[in-house]
Amino acid sequence: MRRNFTPDQTLTDQLYRSDTDAFEELYRRHWYSLYSYSFGKLKSHNDAKHIVTNVFASLWEKRTQLPVTFSLSAYLYAEVRSEVIKCVNAKMNHEEEEQFIEQQIIPGFATRELAKAKKPVSNKDVYPKPGRLHLSEMTESQKETLWEKYHSRNSFKGIKHALQTMLNF
């Protein structure tokens, strides 16, 4: 696939002229983050799909009314949040969704859960450091490389470096 490095702002300007290529490029850049956010909140592929469709369809409909100081990411983020609330609200009208609401949505509104949002995000939460690999957990090829390094009379630093590279430490 050919990569497009045009900034979002330029593509949004092109959107004003009903440029379908610009619209599709914007869609390809942002759909996944919106989809994963919606899925994380609603735990349903169908709902997440429906929300992404609605958000981008509404962006296309509003393309000629976008303000000059328009921020696409802020717009998409606000829209997807609003759509998630609408979806949860609509689910409450259906009795078959009651169990889902009670088990998945309502606990999220508890004070203890909401307090998590105020905690600073650490790198450890986002990118957990892999634990040390025990010899018994290594694959045969990893063990072989370690053995070769040991017998080639490398220094401990050399062996350590080889292991770190091999295990992505």
Contacting positions for another protein (CB under 8 A): 18, 20-21, 23-24, 27-28, 31-32, 35-37, 39-41, 49, 52-53, 56-57, 60-61, 81-82, 84-86, 88-89, 92, 98, 101-102, 105-106, 108-110, 113-114, 116-118, 125
CB of 141 to another protein, least distance (A): 24
Distance CA 20, CA 90 (A): 32
Task: Closer to another protein by CB, 104 or 145: give it.
Answer: 104
| Nearest Cα residue to 42 out of 77, 91, 79, 96 | 91
CA-based nearest residue to 142, from 161, 156, 124, 162: 162
Minimum distance from CB of 123 to another protein (Å)? 13
Compute the least distance from the CB of residue 6 to another protein, in Å: 17
Please report how close the Cβ of residue 116 comes to another protein at its closest, in angstroms. 6
Class of residue 70 by CB neighbours under 10 A (exposed 0-12, middle 13-18, buried 19+): middle
Is 116 or 134 the residue whose CB approaches another protein more closely?
116
Q: Which is nearer to another protein, 30 or 149 (CB)?
A: 30
Q: Could you give the CA distance from residue 2 to residue 120 in angstroms, rounded to a whole number? A: 38
Minimum CB distance to another protein, residue 2 (Å): 14
| 135 contact partners, CB below 8 Å, separation of at least 6 | 143
- Which residue's CB is nearer to another protein, number 65 or number 89? 89
Residue 128 near residue 120 (C-beta atoms within 8 A): no
